[in-house]
């Protein structure tokens, strides 16, 4: 009976594969005639389908069952097939993503936005999501991040800036916007591997507290505080932002690449907590990825689904308009808004290139599946930011506290010292 069942499944798989192969052949003919794509699909039989002239990449389908991913292709199904090892790739991941995006569009699966899936964000659930993303391996992140391990959008003053320079420029840009002064107390919500609090202490003379939910980041920052001799000026806590107790205890607050994890339904509570932690007239800078859809819907074509499943569980991106509204509702006066979308496209492209250049080491550290997930994710983000699928903003705000409480100069010249 077991043998008969197995044979039955095999026959069904082969028949199903033939049906999907027939559909694929018709789809390829249509795409070649109307919207050529530089992509080759090679089957286990040796047969190849070229969707356009001069294919830049080849997707290899090793078994009949893997053809199911091409029956109704989008970026989720094709991404799943790749990271789960059901198809293989020849060529650069960035080129593959471009080709698959065009394939998805040509196949009629190109809806720009997908409905947001609202998530209840609890302390436990948020901690697990952060650990899933960040507690891979510090050595893995070192392969593609800059020397200071800054895992957020860099700030390029010129096209030729190195990643190291651009990330330090971003740190200084944030702290300059915050008008951080010697002796002031800074809270960095979601401090990553600590680069911003170290910069705040060492260059700006501040006393800085960083909080994170990642055990790996916490241990790294704690060791760096000791190694740098910053024990009297820097502190790191394994702490949820909702549990920070010092109401009115901070002159300045930064949050970089963190509010994507907060959840659309929790934004006003998040900004109210920031408002409560600030002194009257204190400044806050929120740096985060946003949806380009006014309704705060997720990226479509299956890209948002892929990220939610494999990269950022429970992440939700608000439109910048929603973020500004919730900041105002929380008692924060928005004083400056800056888009860094093009900067993030360049940052992610650099990360993707560096990770692919260290592919063997990345596989040894994190495994083949994790390498595939991250190489595809970074290449996709570079493409997505470049094509305005999502954006990123720095929003500077002041805690409302009555006349004369806003400490900022009347013009924005202070943000760009030296021109």
Please list, residue by residue across 201-223, b when 16 or more beta carbons sit within 10 angstroms of its beta carbon and e when fewer do: beebebbbbbbbbbebbbebbbe
Using only the alpha carbons of the chain, give its radius of gyration. Answer: 24
* Cβ(261)–Cβ(317) below 8 Å: no
Go through the chain and tell me how many residues it has: 419
| Residue matched to tokens 């892929």 | 306
For β-strands 185-189 and 250-256, DSSP reports them as parallel
Taking the C-alpha atoms of residue 233 and residue 201, their distance in angstroms, rounded to an integer, is 6
Question: Which residues make beta-bridge pairs with 60?
Answer: 42, 88
Tokens of 266: 């929790």
Instruction: List residues with catalytic annotation.
Output: 381
Beta strands in 94-177 (DSSP E): 113-114
Please list, residue by residue across 295-331, b when 16 or more beta carbons sit within 10 angstroms of its beta carbon and e when fewer do: ebbbbbbbbbbbbbebbbbbbbbbbbebbbbbbeebb
Helix/strand/coil for 239: coil
For β-strands 207-212 and 278-291, DSSP reports them as unpaired
* Cβ(392)–Cβ(341) below 8 Å: yes
Tokens of 257: 């690449």
Helix/strand/coil for 274: helix
CA dihedral 42→48→54→60, nearest 10 degrees, is 0
Please list, residue by residue across 338-360, b when 16 or more beta carbons sit within 10 angstroms of its beta carbon and e when fewer do: bebbebbbbbbbbbbbbbbebee
């Amino acid at each position: 009976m077991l043998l008969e069942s197995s044979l039955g499944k095999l026959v069904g798989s082969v028949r199903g594969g033939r049906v999907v192969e027939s559909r694929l052949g018709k789809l390829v003919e249509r795409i070649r005639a109307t919207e050529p794509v530089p992509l080759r699909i090679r089957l286990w039989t040796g047969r190849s389908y070229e969707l356009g002239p001069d294919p830049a990449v080849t997707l290899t389908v090793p078994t009949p069952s893997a053809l199911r991913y091409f029956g109704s292709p989008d970026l989720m199904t094709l991404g799943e097939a790749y990271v789960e090892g059901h198809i293989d790739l020849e060529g650069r991941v960035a080129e593959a993503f471009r080709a698959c995006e065009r394939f998805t569009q040509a196949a009629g699966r190109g809806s720009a936005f997908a409905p947001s899936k609202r998530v209840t964000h609890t302390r436990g659930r948020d901690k697990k999501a952060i650990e899933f993303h960040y507690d891979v391996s510090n050595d893995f992140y070192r392969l593609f991040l800059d020397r200071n391990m800054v895992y957020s959008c860099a700030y390029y003053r010129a096209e030729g800036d190195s990643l190291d320079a651009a990330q330090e420029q971003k740190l200084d840009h944030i702290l300059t916007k915050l008008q951080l002064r010697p002796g002031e107390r800074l809270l960095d919500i979601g401090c990553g591997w600590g680069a911003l609090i170290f910069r705040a202490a060492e260059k700006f003379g501040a006393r800085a507290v960083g909080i994170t939910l990642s055990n790996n980041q916490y241990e790294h920052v704690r060791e760096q505080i000791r190694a740098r001799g910053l024990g009297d000026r820097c502190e790191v806590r394994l702490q949820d932002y909702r549990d920070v107790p010092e109401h009115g205890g901070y002159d300045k607050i930064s949050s970089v690449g963190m509010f994507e994890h907060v959840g659309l339904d929790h934004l006003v509570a998040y900004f109210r907590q920031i408002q409560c932690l600030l002194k009257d007239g204190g400044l806050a800078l929120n740096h985060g990825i946003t949806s380009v859809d006014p309704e705060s819907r997720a990226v479509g074509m299956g890209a948002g689904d892929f990220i939610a499943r494999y990269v950022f569980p429970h992440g939700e991106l608000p439109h910048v308009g929603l973020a500004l509204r919730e900041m105002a509702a929380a008692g924060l006066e928005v004083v400056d808004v800056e888009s860094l979308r093009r900067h993030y496209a360049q940052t992610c492209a650099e990360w993707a290139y560096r990770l692919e250049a260290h592919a063997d080491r990345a596989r040894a550290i994190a495994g083949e599946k994790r390498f595939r997930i991250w190489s595809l994710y970074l290449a996709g983000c570079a493409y997505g930011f470049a094509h305005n699928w999502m954006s990123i903003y720095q929003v500077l705000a002041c805690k409302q506290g009555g006349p004369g409480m806003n400490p900022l100069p009347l013009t924005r010249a202070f943000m760009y010292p030296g021109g």
